[in-house]
Amino acid sequence: MTLASLTAALPADWSFYAVGAVATFLMALGKGAFGGGLAILGIPLLALVMDPIQAAIVTALLVAFMDFFALGSFPRTAWSKPDLTWIMPGFLAGLFLGFLTFEWVDRRWVALVIALITLAFTIHHFARRGAAPAAIPVMPGFAALAGAGAGFTTYVAHAGGPPMALYLLRRGLTKTEFAATTVIIFTIGNLVKLPGYVYSGLDEPTVFVKALVLAPIVPFGVLIGRWLHDRLPRERLFTLCYVLVGLAGTKLLVDALRALWMT
What is the residue-wise DSSP string for 86-127?
HHHHHHHHHHHHHHHHHHHS-HHHHHHHHHHHHHHHHHHHHH
Cβ neighbours of 235 (radius 10 Å): 12
Is there a contact between 198 and 181 (Cβ–Cβ < 8 Å)? no
**Residue 119, pLDDT score:** 84
Select from 150, 183, 162, 131 the least CA-distant residue to 245.
Answer: 162
d(CA 140, CA 149): 14
What residue spans of 128-201 are helical by DSSP H? 140-157, 161-168, 175-201
Q: Which residues of 104-130 are buried (b: 16+ CB within 10 A; e: fewer)?
A: eeeebebbbbbbebbbebbeebeeeee
CA–CA gap between residue 224 and residue 31 (Å, rounded): 10
Quote the pLDDT of residue 200: 82
In the chain, how long is the greatest CA-to-CA distance? 59
Sequence-separated (6 or more) residues with CB below 8 Å from residue 87:
143, 144, 146, 147, 150, 164, 167, 185
The Cα–Cα gap between 39 and 114 comes to 13
For residue 137, which phi and psi values (nearest 5 degrees)? -75, 175
- Give yes or no for a contact between 253 and 112, defined as CB atoms under 8 angstroms apart: yes
Are 37 and 43 in contact by the 8 Å Cβ rule? The answer is no
Residues 6+ apart with CB under 8 A from 104: none
Q: What predicted TM-score, i.e. pTM, was given to this entire model?
A: 0.78
Query: Which H helix or E strand runs over 57?
Result: helix 52-70
Closest by Cα among 65, 83, 75 to 28: 65
Give which of 21, 42, 29 is closest to 234, Cα–Cα: 29
Over its length of 263 residues, how does the chain's per-residue pLDDT go in tens digits?
554 554 556 776 889 999 999 999 999 998 888 777 778 788 888 988 988 888 988 999 999 999 888 888 888 899 999 999 999 999 999 999 988 887 788 867 877 887 788 788 778 778 876 555 567 899 999 999 999 988 988 888 777 877 887 788 788 888 888 889 999 999 999 899 888 888 888 878 888 989 999 999 999 999 998 888 878 776 676 676 677 677 777 877 887 888 788 76
- What pLDDT score was predicted for residue 13? 81
Report whether 65 contacts 120 (CB < 8 A). no
| Residues whose CB is less than 8 angstroms from the CB of residue 240 and which lie 6 or more positions away in sequence, other chains included | none
In total, the chain counts a number of residues equal to 263
